[in-house]
Amino acid sequence: MATNKFNNAGGALTIASAGTAKYTCPAATQATVHAVFISNVNGISEEQVTIQVHITATATTTHIGLNLPIPAQSTLETDKPINLQAGDYILISPSADGTLEFFLSILEMR
């Protein structure tokens, strides 16, 4: 019998962690990322973010958004779900340290 589980991922974004997965779909699982929220907690300046998905089956990484602007004290939200297979993962890279935070709302299906 298949089981579904809601999961969340989130935290601060740093340049040093730009190449690390923010969420990886577990083995024997499919996942739908229902929402990606990226907040600019900097009260002064606009920042940019790049969002990518790595597709394990084809060993490719593709951009969902490249250098997307987020004004100071604003939040960027994706408007479409992202479907992932086992081993696929999401990368989120900020333009500056200490100014952006992310949150992912995920449904995992086994």
**Which CATH number belongs to the domain containing residue 39 in this structure?**
2.60.120.340
What's the structural domain count of the chain?
A: 1
Which residue bears the tokens 């990606």? 36
Task: Residue 84: give the domain boundaries.
Answer: 4-109
Return the higher-pLDDT residue of 79 and 89. 89
Q: Within a 10 A sphere around the Cβ of 95, how many other Cβ atoms?
A: 19
Please report which residue ranges of 9-80 form alpha helices under DSSP H: none
53-78 pLDDT, tens per residue?
Answer: 999 999 999 999 999 999 999 999 99
pLDDT at 1 exceeding the cut of 70: no
pTM reported for the whole predicted model: 0.93
Q: Write down the pLDDT at residue 82.
A: 98
Q: Give which of 43, 101, 97, 102 is closest to 71, Cα–Cα.
A: 43
For the ranges 3-7, 15-19, 20-24, 92-96, the lowest mean pLDDT is seen at 15-19
| CB hemisphere CA count around 12 (13 angstroms) | 9
Residue 77, Ramachandran bin (φ over 0: left; ψ between -120 and 50: alpha; else beta): beta
